[in-house]
Amino acid sequence: MKRYFIFLAAVALFTAVIWGLIFVKTQGVLLEVIFFDVGQGDSILIKTPYEQTMLVDGGPDNRVLNKLGDHLPPLQKRIDIVILTHPHADHVTGLVEVLKRYDVGVVIMSAAYLKTDIYGEFLKTLRDKNTSIIFAKAGQALHFGPKMDVDILWPERNKLDLFGGYNESFGMAGNDVNDDSVVTKMSFGDFALLMTGDATSAVEKQLLAYGNGLRADILKVGHHGSKYSSSLEFLKLVQPQASIIEVGARNRYGHPAPATLDRLKNFSPQGADQLLKSETFGVERPQAENISIFRTDKDSDIKVLSNGYTTSIFKEK
């Protein structure tokens, strides 16, 4: 079965018309994924067709709170699942206030440890709120409803309870907690999204063992598009039609790296020329020959809507 992608800029009137058509087409059964523009950091909100919510990372500050307020109903104060991919400040900081202000069902997290004030505050808040914790391990899976699952692909194994005092990273690159990032693949019908946290090429090399199991329509590019992510070998297995980079404007790290952008721009996913239909909603669109690249520093919030067959990507800017 062919899958169709629609790439749209969110011009207000145009977006309203398109959204109406999408909702009619999908009869209200939609997966919604919003990649928040939180500067130099990651934060992703997932709203399932079955009315669950999941937040992946919280960004480098409390901007995530305003984003959640914009995208959740005013009275909704519950988030079913929070995933912390790893304990760096640009992923964990916003989660402290999220835990304090929302009823969080469970936190799934890397068991990598980092001795920093903000991560210590995060752990303390987990204890104070008595929040349920699951340490991520490859092979675990979350089932949200018919045809919707999230599989944990990495890390390979978890560690002892953080609160028991075991605090040494087992990351493949010494103490680089980026390489302990929780990597997940979300599937809904024929649609798949691969989210890689800050995983580097060292982790990508290990993930190659999944073979075609890595296939995904959209790739959340690892480590903000650093030169150590999105290797060619990895892209060949994932075969993404679109990539999304969460990155801050004019950041001091030079993300995304020119080499990574070149790999993405020059990679031609198999069958991509069949995925974009120029006649969709009467709007002329070029056929996709290379990976479409979206960036929060240029596009602001990026929204993905899918009914498991047709997928649309909206840019705020």
Q: Which pLDDT belongs to residue 104? A: 98
Domain 4-315: homologous superfamily in CATH:
Ribonuclease Z/Hydroxyacylglutathione hydrolase-like (3.60.15.10)
Residue 284, both tokens: 């002329």
Per-residue pLDDT for the chain (317 aa), expressed as one digit of tens each?
Answer: 445 555 544 433 333 333 333 323 334 589 999 999 999 999 999 999 999 999 999 999 999 999 999 999 999 999 999 999 999 999 999 999 999 999 999 999 988 888 999 999 999 999 999 999 999 999 999 999 999 999 999 998 655 444 444 344 443 334 589 989 999 999 999 999 999 999 988 999 999 999 999 999 999 998 888 888 899 999 999 999 999 999 988 888 888 999 999 999 988 887 543 343 322 222 333 445 688 999 999 999 999 999 999 999 999 87
Check: CB of residue 247 under 8 Å from CB of residue 222: no
| Closest-CA residue to 90 (of 70, 116, 108) | 116
Per-domain boundaries in the chain: 4-315
Q: Which pLDDT belongs to residue 66? A: 97
Question: Rounded CA gap, 93 and 298, in Å?
Answer: 23
